[in-house]
Amino acid sequence: MSETLSPREVFTKLLDGIGGGRFAELADLYAEDAVVEIVFAPVGPRRLEGRSVVRERFMELATSLPVELTPVNVVIRETDDPEVIVNEWNYQVRHRATGRTYTAANIQVLRVRDGLIVSSRDYHDHLALAVAGGNLPQLVEALDGN
């Protein structure tokens, strides 16, 4: 019988998977009824409900992300609730085609129960990610259309 992963271990697996570009396996870290809130997302869904929706989002990223994301300066803070951790880190972002690099700050509040993410509130520097990915014109256009 396998051991249940701690919130810290689950987050570490999540970040390692993103940094390694292994998006196909990441949805397995989420509970069937998980809720992910991408609080400052400028476009697209800000709330994902259910593992299948999370899986679809990760698969979109796997096929469309023009950058490599390397997590650095990772800080994991435990809280008085044993299910909840607060994570801070930066991505060193490298555009595959141009080689340009950027830094994007991130904070994530995870609730992990029985070794699976049941909720996540994600705060990413979407502007830095859009610039790094060469998507700033599309972002401005999308925002202009709202």
pLDDT in tens, 25-54: 999 999 999 999 999 888 778 999 999 999
Q: What is the pTM of this model?
A: 0.89
Residue 44 backbone class (left: φ over 0; alpha: ψ -120 to 50; beta: rest): left
Average pLDDT taken over every residue of the chain = 90
Q: Is 50 left (phi over 0), alpha (psi -120 to 50) or beta?
A: left
End-to-end CA distance of the chain: 51
Site of tokens 């520097």: 125
The strand pair at 116-124 and 101-113 is best described as antiparallel
Please tell me the distance from the alpha carbon of residue 31 to that of residue 74, in angstroms, as a whole number: 24
* CA pair distance 18, 43, nearest whole angstrom: 21
Type of residue at 1:
M
List, for residues 5-20, the tens digit of each pLDDT value: 999 999 999 999 999 9
* pLDDT at residue 1, as a whole number: 42
Which CATH code is given to the segment(s) 7-144? 3.10.450.50
Q: How confident is the model at residue 137 (pLDDT cuts 50, 70, 90)?
A: low
124: part of which helix (H) or strand (E)? strand 116-124
